[in-house]
Each structure stands twice: as C-alpha cells, then as structure tokens.
A and B are shown apart, each in its own frame.
Chain A
C-alpha cells in the first residue's frame, strides 16, 4: 500500500479505489437508513473515519459480488452509474434512490504512465462524501415501513450480461426531491453522488 503513494494513480488502482468506496458507501447507506438492524453492523477504520459494515455473511457476500464485478467493469470503463434503490417491501414503492454517476476517462489505459494525484487527496474527498451520506439522516424523510434495497448498474449497451445479473428498469421515484452531494475524482474516474427521495405528499 505504501508503494501506491509514490506511484500515482493507475487505471487498475483507480478501479479498486472506486469499487472500495462503493462497498463502504452502500454499507453506510444500509446502516444509516435502517434497512438492516444496527446490531448486525460492526465498526471498521477506513479513510480516517469509523465506518459501519455488515456482519451478515449473506449480505456481505452479495455486496462482495457486486464490488468485484464493479472493479472489473470500472477497469474496462464500461460502467456509467451505480444506483441503490430503497423500496418498501409491502408496497414495492420506491422511496429513496441513491445515484452514483461515474465519469470515466476512457483515454486512460494501464500502459500510460500513472496519473498524478495523491492517495491522501482522494481519501479526503471520499471521506467528505461518506460524511455527507451520514449527515443526510438529518433531512431525509423517515422510512416508515420495512424496506429492501436493490442495486442497479448502468452499463454500456453492448456489454454481455454476466450470469446472475438481469436487465431491469430504472426504478425511478414518482414525485421526488433530489439533493446533490459532493463528488470525488481519482483523475481517471469521477463519481458524483445524488440522493432522491419521495416528496412527502401534502395532506
């Protein structure tokens, strides 16, 4: 890990950083929004923060699959967006939608020299985004009913759909309010975060 600091950012390294961010980011969302019981989360140190990750083996496995797949797709620069959809179990209504837009610099290939950006700067940016995700609990409307989450990934059209993945619709929220959070960039991949939530219907 120490060597990375001096080497700058390679395409492979950038893909790993972004995939790792998604893993911790999704865990944070699941904890903060109360999708899973807080007792099933444990604290780890990452990015100079205390983050909560799930201890549930099935869920951890599921998220691992996604992270690994994301790493591959980020490396090939064919993924455009990752979306965490939170919907009510009973009514299947989408209540919240976390959208991570990925802008990939397609000119970056591993054979080019590594880009100049310090790990620390990227870590600081990621830390700001994760702190913002934590802070959103102050304004996001309460999720009244039990909720489930879904992960959608927007990829290039001609990608061969791997096993276990299926095509899906965008699962937008009807009548939503959107808030844009901070973005971070590794100079090869740029991630913009927005959260959309269902506007409370005025009685």
Chain B
C-alpha cells in the first residue's frame, strides 16, 4: 500500500496548491497576526475560501484551531471569490430561473396546457403538479482532501517496482512453457483445467478435452461433445489419476477412463450447467448454476446420494478438504459455505459455517495443506480480497486486498506460501507468504485475465489458463535439491496407495 500513499503524496506535491513554505507572509496574513488569534481565518483572510472539508456543511462556521492544518485549498479552485468563498451550496440555475421568470401570462387554451404538461413531464421526469423535490440541506462534510477514491487506485494500477526485499530463493519471472489453448471459454465461473497425479494436464477447450502429458509433451484429444452447442464447464481428476470427471453445460457429469479413452458413466441429476467438481475418494461433488451441490457415489448405480442447497446463485468454487472432513463451496451470491462430510441429525446437510464477508463472487477456494481447518478464499471483481478462515471457530484470520479479481488460490506443499491468480489490470499470479501475508513475487505475462490455476503433482509448477488463449507453466515452487532429498526420504516411508477399481 505504501506506493499508493507515495503516489498521493506526489500528486499533492505536484498540484502546487499548498502555500509556499518559506515565502514572506502575505499582507492579509500579517493583518491576521496583528488582529490576534480571535476571529477565525475564514473571516479575516478573504483570499482563502473556507476549508471545504470543515465548513461547507454549516453557514457561517468558525473553524477553531484548524488554521494549523497542513492542507489548505487554493483560492481559485472552489470557483468562489472573496465575497462568497464557497458557492457549492447554491443552486445557480434555479436562482437564475426564478429571478428571470416572467409573471404568469393570461389563461392559455387547454390544449396548450396539456402540451406544456407533457413537456414538463418529459423534461423533469415527473409531473410538476403532482410532486416536488426536496433536498436535505446541511450536507455532511465531504471526504477530506487528499483522499483518493480507492477505485481510482484499482483501475490505474501501474507495475510496482521490484521489491527490495531479498527473496530466499530464485523465482523465474518467465514461464517455463507456454501452451496454446485456442477456443478456451472466457467465462469466470468455469473450471477448465486440472493436473492429475499421473502428470497429465487436462484442458477443456470449448467442447473438447485435451490431455497434455507433461513428461513427454504428447497431446491427446480425450473427448468431444456430440452436440455442437454443448460445452465443457468443468474438469476434475480423481486422486489416482486414472479417471477424469467432466461437467458439461447440458447439466451432465461424465466419468471417463483415460487408459481406454472411454466414457464410463454419464450422471445426470442437475438441471443447469455444472461449473465445478471436487473429489473425495469415491464421492464426486458437483456444483451447478442453480446453486445446488450434488454428491455422487461413483461406485453405485444410484449415484446421486445427497443434495446441498446453500447457494442461491451459481456455485463456482468447490473444494474438499485434504482430510475429507469438510467441503467448502463459494458462489456467485458472495457466500462461502463449509459443509460437513456427514449429514446432520435431521438428515439434511446444513453448512457448519457460512461466510458473508466477500462482496463479490467467490470462485477461489483452497484448503491449507499444513494447517488443519484453514481455508483461503478470494473474491471477484466487486470484492478483490483474499481471506483466510479457521472453519472450526469461524474466525477470519487475515484479509488482504489484492486489488484485482481473484480467480484461483493454490497452496504450496513445498513452501509455506500460496499463489493467487488475478485479472484486470495486470493479469498476474501473486505468491504470498503465509501467515505474514506478504508478497513474495508477482508473475506477469498473461495478456488477459487468468481464469484458472492448477498445480503439478510434484508441487513445483503452477499452470495458469487465461483468456488470452494460452496456458503458462510457472516453475515458482522449485525445491532446493538438499531439501528435496529430505522430502523424498520422508515420502518413501509412506505405504503405497491401493488402487480401487471403479465400476
């Protein structure tokens, strides 16, 4: 934030409206000194209009002791003169009209009256005979001078100079690879990329899904929708990486086998497009445009095992926690719901937490891998904040203003950091240190807003898909070779996963 204060200071300096610090005092100032500190500066110094921030509300005000303030407005700015310093409270047009209005002419013919009435209604927007407009005088003081509309800061964001802080590791500012993603749908609410544990990156381009093998660089077209108007709205890999769940705009949730490149199941239970999917071992959760979330047990024929109704608008963010205890969902209704994995007493699913603080759609939802019950959420254009929550207590642990639409958040498994993807104006990825919430790095390169982020299975690379029809792979969490060896030793101690076969 410091650079914005700096910018404000710079503007203040360049405006040249503060008095010259070392000049000899003007005549009126000398007079003021002579006449003593009694009368307020407003009365005695006619060249200065009233400090707008303090006296515009009440006429004529004394501003006791305010003359010491640093901020003083110039004479010429307010459009006033030395007799009437502040004209903003007057209505010049109204006054002029009333003064110059002729006395009412003789009775006009009824048709003329009708015509006049019609004109009056058109011009005023209402019938002058029927209503009048009132305005409460005594308007409260305006924002203090030097206050810059914070939206201006948002829209005029410039590239900030590189931080002088020394990063403990080198993060390359250029992506490792750039892949072409033609026809990718520029829709904030969809989730079109996912990276499997078998190192396949699935990308949904309009009505087809392509798999890119990171190791070999090979590209396979897995599927294409039969109907031309139907498009893919979400993709999600099962943990083992052999099955891919696909959500479509025709409200279907399909399950595809990668080895055989065959569709195993087509589960229909929603009535609107399925924008988001999340796996919890054999349970697949899907969020739809209606705001409903369905749980599907993919092993059984009657797949639709539960419905969670907690959103009134499209569900765009959905994530099961890593231990499978909670499901976090974010919607276009600005709500974040945290659902338990089992039903409550009444047989209905009710959220254990609902967070309403976001002022925009919540698509970015991510669970912290090293701290239990910590959830990060990011808001859309109207909100632009990233919030960290403890879902047990419901407390918001920290908030940071990211100044840009947040589309996705990913926690790193290698470092105590998380990365967020953004839109206008810089379309950048930002790496944040947790829990200090300081920026570690900003990765720029996309020329249009980022839509989705996904992480490689080894946790070193982040892939970002953006509206500029490219996928960029950023090697931002590269492990130190020494630390890597330690981690590998720790991992090999764990037992291998038993692959479940899914019907």
Contacts and interface: CB of A to CB of B under 8 A. Distances in A.
Interface residues of A, number: 55
A166 B57 CA distance: 14
Contacts of B167: none
B357 A34 contact: no
Contacts of B170: none
A155 B131 contact: yes
Nearest to A83: B133
B124 interface: yes
B151 A137 contact: yes
A46 B482 CA distance: 53
B215 interface: no
A138 B381 contact: yes
What is the interface of chain A mostly: helix, strand, loop, or mixed? mixed
Contacts of A147: 149
Interface string A165-178: 11111101000000
Interface in B49-70: 52, 57
B136 A49 contact: no
A124 B139 CA distance: 32
Contacts of B130: 156-157
A37 interface: yes
B142 A146 contact: yes
B133 to A, nearest CB: 5
Contacts of A48: 356
B91 A150 contact: no
A50 B357 contact: yes
Contacts of B136: 62, 65-66, 69, 151, 153, 164-165
Contact of B149 (A90, A143, A159): A143
B134 A152 contact: yes
Nearest to A58: B140
Interface residues of B, number: 43
Contact of B334 (A49, A89, A169): A49
Q: Which of A34, A138, A150 has the most CB of B within 10 A?
A: A34
Contacts of A56: 140
Nearest to A158: B132
A201 interface: no
A154 interface: yes
A143 B143 CA distance: 14
B94 interface: yes
Contacts of A80: 126, 131
B276 to A, nearest CB: 20
Contacts of A166: 134-135, 137
Nearest to A156: B131
B323 interface: no
6 contacts: A32-B382, A50-B357, A58-B57, A134-B382, A144-B149, A169-B91
- Smallest CB-CB A-B distances: 7 pairs: A168-B135, A34-B149, A62-B140, A50-B356, A59-B140, A50-B357, A58-B140
